[in-house]
């Protein structure tokens, strides 16, 4: 006799195993491949826990709003269900940060960083004979603090230093400690704080979550050690972590592979509802190259295709970098096609914001520095010169600035004209665009019917001369995996095909295109 509930009868055996483990009160982790129904699994797991207070922990505000809407409908059908969707930051602010840092929360992260740099310079906490050198040193201190904020450490240590500051390790760590003391709410400091500051201070207080009995931690692969540490120390709670270690692409924000570090029973989700066998074969090639022994399988027969080149009509073009994004936008202008660049997701509506304004502002700010002028743009205002920006872009932690330095160096004095040309073809509404352009990071967690890959993806395997085995760049392999698994019906390899083929070939794997293995 089938003892599944009404909502469970449509679940796969893998999903039912997760629901049963939740019902038994187990703490465990779920390793969920792309499109395998983890949201449905978590929802049904929550429904299996009536009369228990469940905290559904998500990565960002947009996910929290979407989950809250979903759970509101569930509660209407199941009045006994008590579940609350929150972000770690919102809990930290409500329980701790609000009373300790009220009035100090920065409007934007870059504005806070700029204030921190000024504080370090004004108090001579950094070294350097020249102004630019002192600014660079101040940014190294800020990067050190950022690494500490993301970590689960209770003290600063050498592991928080960026590589460029290793030779002055003690000085950098001392300056970072002074900056943290000024930011910490236990002092009388007035410097603006970021969300990560109050989250770290909350984690250091070793908090208890007394109002909940179960924690469902979604997208756990993107958790920072600071976030994870709070949940791991809730000894009396049932905890369920869900994520896909192969979709961990936020290492630059301090994320760790929580699933790999958690020594808990594991339940897999391997049957995808998103695409069919051909796209799954490409994804499995990348998984195989990474050493994954399980295979991504379609849950039901579905027509899909993997093609070479670019389609004449495309729903979405995915780029690896912002440079690639601009290059794709320029191709749209040549074809007289309108485009929409995806920005951050709106927390209230769940719709993607127009990212062209952000891209335009950063390009023009970088161009101002290239032209010998200062800029008021929050992300670039701390740089006194183009050389200072270049040095930062080349250093560890400067990844956010590199695309704009590269683009301005490529287009020089023509940058404003380039921006104006792009503006003539950019549209405000995603629904009316001929083509939607996005980076992989912006489109993570979403899907589109027809997806093409840009030509700016990076190799994720390399072999030095004389070495027998190729080395794997796991972070880049994850980005490739996320990219190819966004398509539902048509995956066009575009300019990324050669890069993926060569990387996979070095690792002994072939790339299936049009149903055949192409080397």
The residue with greater pLDDT, 3 or 147, is 147
Residue 197's pLDDT band, with cuts at 50, 70 and 90, is very high
**Strand spans (E) along 167-300:** 214-217, 238-243, 266-269, 271-272, 297-298
pLDDT tens column, 199-248:
999 999 999 887 889 999 998 888 888 988 999 888 888 999 998 989 88
Residue 353's pLDDT band, with cuts at 50, 70 and 90, is low
- Please give the average per-residue pLDDT across 478-493, as a whole number: 95
pLDDT tens column, 55-92:
999 877 877 888 888 887 777 777 777 888 898 899 99
pTM of the full structure: 0.85
- What tokens does 428 get? 């405000």
- Please give the average per-residue pLDDT across 362-391, as a whole number: 88
Report whether pLDDT(6) > 50: no
- Please give the average per-residue pLDDT across 305-311, as a whole number: 89
Rounded to the nearest integer, the mean pLDDT of the chain is 85
Report whether pLDDT(320) > 80: yes
pLDDT tens column, 127-148:
776 677 788 888 889 999 999 9
pLDDT at 199: 93
Please report where in the chains the tokens 């469940």 appear, as a residue.
54
pLDDT at 517: 37
Report whether pLDDT(352) > 90: no
- Please give the average per-residue pLDDT across 333-343, as a whole number: 88
Nearest to 241 by CA among 13, 11, 68, 32: 32
Report whether pLDDT(98) > 90: no
DSSP label at residue 104: -
Residue 297's pLDDT band, with cuts at 50, 70 and 90, is very high
- What percent of the chain is predicted at pLDDT more than 90? 39
pLDDT at 242: 92
- Please give the average per-residue pLDDT across 304-333, as a whole number: 88
The b-or-e profile of 246-263 (16+ CB within 10 A means b, else e) is: bbbbbeeebbbbbbeebe
Q: Which of 143-147, 168-172, 454-458 is the least confident region?
A: 168-172
**Please, are residues 151 and 160 in contact by the beta-carbon 8 Å criterion?**
yes
pLDDT at 348: 42
Beta pairing, strands 316-319 & 435-439: parallel
**Please, are residues 67 and 45 in contact by the beta-carbon 8 Å criterion?**
no
**Please, are residues 16 and 4 in contact by the beta-carbon 8 Å criterion?**
yes
State the Cα–Cα distance between residues 388 and 268, nearest whole angstrom: 48
pLDDT at 396: 67
Helices and strands (H, E) in the chain, number of each type? 20, 19
pLDDT at 184: 85
The residue with greater pLDDT, 22 or 382, is 22
State the Cα–Cα distance between residues 301 and 289, nearest whole angstrom: 25
State the Cα–Cα distance between residues 511 and 519, nearest whole angstrom: 7
pLDDT at 266: 93
- What percent of the chain is predicted at pLDDT more than 70? 92
The residue with greater pLDDT, 499 or 358, is 499
Residue 343's pLDDT band, with cuts at 50, 70 and 90, is confident
pLDDT at 129: 61
Report whether pLDDT(355) > 90: no
Report whether pLDDT(7) > 50: no
pLDDT at 72: 79
Q: Which of 157-161, 216-220, 378-382, 434-438 is the least confident region?
A: 378-382
The residue with greater pLDDT, 399 or 286, is 286
State the Cα–Cα distance between residues 35 and 444, nearest whole angstrom: 11
Report whether pLDDT(268) > 90: yes
State the Cα–Cα distance between residues 182 and 9, nearest whole angstrom: 56
Report whether pLDDT(5) > 50: no
DSSP label at residue 155: S
Residues 6+ apart with CB under 8 A from 64: 58, 85, 86, 87, 90, 347
Q: Where are the alpha helices (DSSP H) in 184-321?
A: 195-204, 225-232, 258-261, 277-289
DSSP label at residue 97: I
pLDDT at 187: 61
Report whether pLDDT(380) > 90: no
State the Cα–Cα distance between residues 290 and 285, nearest whole angstrom: 9
State the Cα–Cα distance between residues 355 and 350, nearest whole angstrom: 15
């Amino acid at each position: 006799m089938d003892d599944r509930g009404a909502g469970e009868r449509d679940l796969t055996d893998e999903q039912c195993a997760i629901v049963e483990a939740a019902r038994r009160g187990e703490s465990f982790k779920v390793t969920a491949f792309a499109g395998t129904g983890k949201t449905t699994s978590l929802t049904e797991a929550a429904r299996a826990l009536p009369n228990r207070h469940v905290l559904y922990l998500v990565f960002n505000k947009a996910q929290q709003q979407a989950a809250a809407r979903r759970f509101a409908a569930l509660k209407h059908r199941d009045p006994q269900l008590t579940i609350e969707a929150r972000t770690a930051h919102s809990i930290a602010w409500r329980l701790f940060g609000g009373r300790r840092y009220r009035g100090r929360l920065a409007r934007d992260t870059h504005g806070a960083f700029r204030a921190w740099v000024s504080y370090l310079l004004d108090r001579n906490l950094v070294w350097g004979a020249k102004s630019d050198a002192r600014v660079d040193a101040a940014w190294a201190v800020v990067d050190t603090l950022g690494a500490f904020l993301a970590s689960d450490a209770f003290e600063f240590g050498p592991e928080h230093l960026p590589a460029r500051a290793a030779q002055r390790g003690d000085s950098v760590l001392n300056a970072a400690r002074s900056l943290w003391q000024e930011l910490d709410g236990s002092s009388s400091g007035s410097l603006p704080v970021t969300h990560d500051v109050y989250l770290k201070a909350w984690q250091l207080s070793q908090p208890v979550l007394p109002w909940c009995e179960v924690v469902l931690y979604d997208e756990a692969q993107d958790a920072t050690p600071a976030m994870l540490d709070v949940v791991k120390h809730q000894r009396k709670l049932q905890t369920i972590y869900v994520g896909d270690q192969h979709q961990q692409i936020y290492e630059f924000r301090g994320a760790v592979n929580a699933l790999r570090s958690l020594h808990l029973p594991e339940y897999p989700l391997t049957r995808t509802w998103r695409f069919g066998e051909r796209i799954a074969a490409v994804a499995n090639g990348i998984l195989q190259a990474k050493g994954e022994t399980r295979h991504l399988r379609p849950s039901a027969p579905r027509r899909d295709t993997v093609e070479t080149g670019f389609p004449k009509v495309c729903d979405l073009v995915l780029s690896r970098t912002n440079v690639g994004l601009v290059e794709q936008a320029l191709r749209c202008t040549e074809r007289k096609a309108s485009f929409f660049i995806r920005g951050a997701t709106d927390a209230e509506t769940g719709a993607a914001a127009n990212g062209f304004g952000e891209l335009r502002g950063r390009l023009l700010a970088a161009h101002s520095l290239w032209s010998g002028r200062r800029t008021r743009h929050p992300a670039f205002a701390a740089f006194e010169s183009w050389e200072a920006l270049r040095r930062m872009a080349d250093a560890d932690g400067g990844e956010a600035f590199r695309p704009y330095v590269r683009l301005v160096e490529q287009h020089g004095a023509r940058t404003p004209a380039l921006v104006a040309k792009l503006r003539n073809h950019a549209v405000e509404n995603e629904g009316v665009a001929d083509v939607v352009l996005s980076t992989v990071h912006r489109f993570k967690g979403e899907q589109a019917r027809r997806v093409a890959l840009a030509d700016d993806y990076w190799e994720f395997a390399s072999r030095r001369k004389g070495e027998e085995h190729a080395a794997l760049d796991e972070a880049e392999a994850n980005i490739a995996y996320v990219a190819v698994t966004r398509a539902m019906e048509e995956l066009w390899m575009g300019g990324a095909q050669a890069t993926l083929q060569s990387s996979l070939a070095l690792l002994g794997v072939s790339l299936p295109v049009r149903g055949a293995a192409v080397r």
